[in-house]
Amino acid sequence: MLNRWTFAGVAAVTLFGGEPEAAAQTPGGRVPEMIPVEALDLIGKPAPGFEAPLLNGGSFRLQEHRGSVVILSFWASWCGPCREELPALAALQKSRPDLKIFAVNVDREKSKAQAFLAQVPFDLPIVWDNEATALGQYEVLSMPTMFLIDRTQNLVWRKTGFGRDKGLSELEAQLQGVR
């Protein structure tokens, strides 16, 4: 049986590009299998519809935004890269009012999201997915994860992570091809 430290080592080596064989193996000598990327491929398919409360009142329904280009950014209070991605998305929203950008928070406790927002203010509607409904439907495994949804509500692009070097350049390139 793998203990949590062995599993963490295997995950770290797998995530950061090392050789899995060099990581700790299971007692039977097998390296644990990871979730196949193709099992997570939602791109080109209809965006899963969902409804959730907005953090400051009201509710969000994805289907109400049909006809608009929508960006969903899944984030959590413990996510370091989210501290940079969310303000960058808010700036993009300001410069591109034709987009509908929503920050989907997955914290179970509203107070954790509110503490984050006190430290990292940004002006985007915040969808509160504390029961992880949308998180599961969109097969989000890491934070931040962003989805680009076209006007017909098909998923056209998915991005996990955020870095200063690229910022939102990949998203901006994808937006040029979205109808």
pLDDT in tens, 53-69: 999 899 999 999 999 99
Q: What tokens does 102 get?
A: 């929503």
Q: What tokens does 56 get?
A: 């400051």
> CB of 137 within 8 A of CB of 45?
no
Residue 4 has pLDDT above 60, yes or no: no
CA 115, 52, 170, 68 dihedral sign is negative
Report percent pLDDT > 70 for the chain: 78
Beta strand segments in 54-178, E: 59-61, 69-75, 99-105, 126-128, 145-149, 155-160
Q: Angle at Cα 49 formed by Cα 168 and Cα 147, nearest 5°? A: 10
- 179 — pLDDT class (breaks 50, 70, 90): confident
CA distance 12 to 17: 8
Residue 34 has pLDDT above 70, yes or no: no
CA distance 72 to 169: 16
Average pLDDT over residues 20-41: 49
Average pLDDT over residues 142-151: 97
Q: What is the pTM of this model?
A: 0.78
Chain mean pLDDT for the chain? 84
Residue 10 has pLDDT above 50, yes or no: no
